[in-house]
Amino acid sequence: MSETGPKDSAAVERALAILEAVAHRAGGLTNAELSRRLKIPKSSASYLLRTLEHHGYLRREPESGRYRLGVKVLALSESVLSGLDIRQVALPMLRHLVEQVHLTAHLAILDRGEAVYIEKVEAPGFIKMDTWVGRRMDVHATSVGKALIAYLPEEEVAALARQRGLRKRTPKTITVLSKLEKELEKARTQGYAVDDEENNLGVRCVAAPIFNSEGGVEASLGVSGAINQLDPASVPKVAELVKDAARHIAQQMGYHPPRR
């Protein structure tokens, strides 16, 4: 069996970069857009796109020429997610929480410095959140992200901020590390984190951490809604329900809160 060389490695990295770029663009991307964005020669991008499409990892829309993720990616993601027992434990609680607060609920984990939704239950009604299972989010600008990193050592939070940056998503996004640290301290004190239009204008979110049997944060549970659905006065009440749901999930996962 021959070993792969630098050219093979570069092709693999380009293919993975294409998949990630398409995954992060809800409307898909064309060959030309991918070539410009990833600085890949158009001919090379075209070859990789055809290969990924042939194997089912991408699909091309004939009318627009845009590439979107294919069903093969969904099959792989389902295989990964099926191994996360917390989804099975959390799903009934997410559904119950949605019935209580009439807001969309999400379950998220920390992966490579980002919050990733691994489960979602949509709220009833006409207002829908532009979120999906597998979506990757900035931890500093989202309530689920803040809940995930609130209990990390300060040096880990600082390293994460250096590596990924504190990108400004809206005029309300926290982009200074010292302010983020204060926000995380507040989240630890309250037991929940808030995204007050920091990731999307017009959207407010509340999230609580889910602890594992060793006392670390395994995941976070959050609810999201339009600012008129989740006004500042209702945040504490909703937060208590979110915290209760997160505690219930944690206990089923083997977490035992420390005795006071």
pLDDT band for position 72 (cuts 50, 70, 90)? confident
List phi, psi (to 5°) of 14.
-65, -40
Q: List the structure tokens of 72.
A: 């093969």
Amino acid letter, 230:
L
Give the Cα separation of 46 and 169 in Å (integer).
Answer: 32
For domain 83-252, which CATH number applies: 3.40.50.2300, 3.10.20.520, 3.30.450.40, 3.40.50.970?
3.30.450.40
Question: Which strands make up the sheet holding 136-138, listed edge to edge?
Answer: 136-138, 114-121, 104-111, 217-226, 203-211, 193-196
Q: How far is CA 66 from CA 17, 58, 63, 127, 219, in A?
A: 16, 10, 8, 27, 34
Q: Where in the chain are the domains?
A: 6-74, 83-252
Give the Cα separation of 40 and 46 in Å (integer).
Answer: 10
For the stretch 187-234, pLDDT in tens is 999 999 999 999 999 999 999 999 988 889 999 999 999 999 999 999
Q: List the structure tokens of 212.
A: 């594992």
The answer to whether domain 6-74 and domain 83-252 are alike in fold is no
pLDDT at 5 over 60: no
Cβ proximity of 92 and 121 under 8 Å: no
For residue 201, give every residue at least 6 positions away whose Cβ sits within 8 Å of its Cβ, in sequence order, or none.
Answer: 170, 171, 172
Provide mean pLDDT across the span 136-147. 96
pLDDT at 3 over 70: no
Estimate to the nearest angstrom the gap between the alpha carbon of 251 and the chain centroid.
23
For domain 6-74, which CATH number applies: 2.70.210.12, 1.10.10.10, 3.40.30.10, 3.40.50.620?
1.10.10.10
Give the Cα separation of 148 and 143 in Å (integer).
Answer: 9
Q: What is the pTM of this model?
A: 0.72
